[in-house]
Amino acid sequence: MKFDKSAKLYKKGCKHLVGAVNSPVRAFKSVGGNPIFIKEAKGSKIIDVDHNIYIDLVQSYGPMILGHKNKKVDSAVEKALKSGYTFGASTEMEIKLANLVCKSIKTIDKIRFVNSGTEAVLSALRLARAYTGKSKIIKFSGCYHGHSDALLVAAGSGVATLSIPGSKGVPEEAVKNTLIAEYNNIESVKQLIDQHKDIAGIILEPVAGNMGVVRPNQQFVEQLNELTSANDILMIVDEVMTGYRTKFGATHELLGFNADIVCLGKVIGGGFPVGAYGARNEIMEMVAPLGEMYQAGTLSGNPIAMACGYATLKTLKKRSPYKQFKAQAEIIENFLLDAAKENDIELTVNRYGSMINPFFTSERVVDFKSAQTSDTEKFKVFFWNMIENGVYIPPSQFESWFLSAELSEKDLKTIEKAIRIAIKAVSEIKTTEIKEA
Ligand SMILES: *Cc1c(COP(=O)(O)O)cnc(C)c1O
């Protein structure tokens, strides 16, 4: 496989773009090598500028659930484009998308559209604080909620519990109201609630996808529900990744989480920049113009983005690929585990619906700490072998793979073959290391 044109573009891009990218994970830093530049995509496949064709398991990190260039979505976008790009005034499509979302997620009576998941989450925190009159927020280490100051707290356990910012440029004051608990560990939540009286909300990913896939256990869900209602703490469920991914609606409902505020993004824009937050009437009526919590956006509810999101959700509802996702994820899990067994590689696979990824560890992965036991050197070799064999997966051990409705039997065969080769290559690094030793 050649990457000459990508390499050239990377060099060119470095001059005026930071690392030639507009979002860090695209830079391939954790797997080494140059980033791949994409030319186009269709259905389950994505094509780079060197004309290498891959099965796309990145899905733009979630939004492209129907696969690329879905016909219905395409024509909806084209139709919207004909009427103009943005008006700074309301359009009917915003109402249509709002109706569709509110009908499919019980927690949400009213919704506000924004332009990204980051924006949805930071607004949801403001809302939780406005509604409760309290300041502190509990988040879980390893959960990602966008790049707003208050949520960029180091995700590594020791420093994390001290609320030290995880990025330069985030002042300590910005994270002093962010408390860190451990996923699937209710004691860590209880301790924080005992120590702090001023907790407005707990934010979490109902299924974590940003430390790799980590499911909550049932007891954790139930006890979190009890703790939050007993202490008047709002549950802010960040469904930016999981919304419409595992069912037509919100994943927290499947898992039994109570939710007060729900954040959405990714799938609801179908590939255009859309985020949203919603809640029951009483909470949303705090938001301007009805209430005194200010939040605004020049391009919020953009008509092209709304048309794309609406067509995506409509098509998704009709097509309901969720059973297919589960079956295919199970097949991929078996490919991974069988190949690992054959090659004597320690591997854990976590999945939920259309989200799946392998961890190169023998430990069960239930939180950030266990996720971090993964051997990222092994992942690097695995990653490049997957790429070389026509399967595009996220360039990080700690990202979920996403399935699309377009994934075919034939694609699964290609994935199986790539996995076999990639796992074998991983087993070969092991032998060379032993030889050297
Ligand atoms: C992607 C993601 C975000 C951030 O969304 P952006 O659109 O990248 O700002 C927030 N929360 C979760 C759970 C996400 O997966």
Please choose from 21, 58, 59, 118 the residue to mutate so as to test ligand 1's pocket, defined by most ligand atoms within 8 A of CB. 118
Q: Virtual CA dihedral for 259, 263, 268, 270, nearest 10 degrees?
A: -140
Ligand 1 close to Cβ of residue 399 (< 6 A): no
Q: How close is the Cα of 145 to the center of ligand 1, in Å? A: 6
Q: What atom in ligand 1 is closest to the CA of residue 61?
A: 1
Residues 40 and 85 in one domain: no
Residues 148 and 227 reside in one and the same domain? yes
| 209 plus 292 within the same structural domain | yes
Among 319, 341, 373, the domain boundary falls at: 319
User: Do 335 and 207 lie in a common domain?
Assistant: no
Nearest CA to ligand 1 atom 8: 117
3-state secondary structure of 349: strand
Cα R_g (the chain), whole angstroms: 22
Are 357 and 212 in contact by the 8 Å Cβ rule? The answer is yes
Each residue's pLDDT expressed in tens, for the chain with a length of 437 residues? 999 999 999 999 999 999 999 998 898 988 998 999 999 999 999 999 999 999 999 999 999 999 999 999 999 999 999 999 999 999 999 999 999 999 999 999 999 999 999 999 999 999 999 999 999 999 999 999 999 998 887 443 333 344 566 788 888 888 899 999 999 999 999 999 999 999 999 999 999 999 999 999 999 999 999 999 999 999 999 999 999 999 999 999 999 999 999 999 999 999 999 999 999 999 999 999 999 999 999 999 999 999 999 999 999 999 999 999 999 999 999 999 999 999 999 999 999 999 999 999 999 999 999 999 999 999 999 999 999 999 999 999 999 999 999 999 999 999 999 999 999 999 999 555 555 54
Q: Are 166 and 204 in contact (CB under 8 A)?
A: no
170 & 250 share domain: yes
Atom number, ligand 1, closest to the C-alpha of residue 239: 13
Domain count, the chain: 2
User: Reduced to 3 states, what is the DSSP secondary structure of residue 123?
Assistant: helix
DSSP notation for 215-274: PPPHHHHHHHHHHHHHTT-EEEEE-TTTTTTSSSS-HHHHHT---SEEEE-GGGGBTB--
Which of 319, 338, 358 is the last residue before a domain boundary?
319
Question: For residue 269, what are the domain limits?
Answer: 71-319
For the sheet with 401-402, list strands across it.
348-352, 355-359, 401-402
Q: Where are the beta strands (DSSP E) in 31-135?
A: 38-42, 45-48, 53-56, 110-114
Tell me: do 182 and 105 sit in the same domain: yes
The 3-state DSSP class for residue 201 equals: strand
Distance 265 CA to ligand 1 centre (A): 7
Task: State the DSSP H helix or E strand holding residue 138, giving kind and residue range, or none if neither.
Answer: strand 136-140
Antiparallel, parallel or unpaired: β 53-56 and 391-392 = parallel
What CATH number does residue 221 fall under?
3.40.640.10
Residue 22 class from Cβ within 10 Å (0-12 exposed, 13-18 middle, 19+ buried)? Answer: exposed
Decide if 123 contacts 295 (C-beta within 8 A): yes
Pocket test for ligand 1, best of 22, 25, 144, 399 (most atoms within 8 A of CB): 144
Is the beta carbon of 183 within 6 A of some atom in ligand 1?
Answer: no
- pLDDT tens, 296-341? 999 999 999 999 999 999 999 999 999 999 999 999 999 999 999 9
**Ligand 1 mutation target, pool 65, 121, 257, most atoms within 8 A of CB:** 121
Ligand 1 centroid distance, CA of 306 (Å): 18
pLDDT tens by residue, 143-162: 999 999 988 874 433 333 44
How far is it, in rounded angstroms, from Cα 289 to Cα 400?
Answer: 38
What was the pLDDT predicted at 113? 98
Distances (CA, A) of 217 to 10, 260, 316, 365: 43, 20, 28, 12
Identify any residues that bridge with 391 across adjacent strands, giving them in sequence order. 55
Which residues are identified as catalytic?
144, 238, 266
Q: Compute, in angstroms, the gap from residue 146 CA to the centroid of ligand 1.
A: 5
CA of 429 to the centre of ligand 1 (A): 34
Strand segments (E) across 141-227:
178-181, 199-204
Closest ligand 1 atom, residue 238 Cα: 13
Model pTM score: 0.95
Q: Token digits for 426?
A: 């991983």
Residue 346: CATH number of its domain: 3.90.1150.10
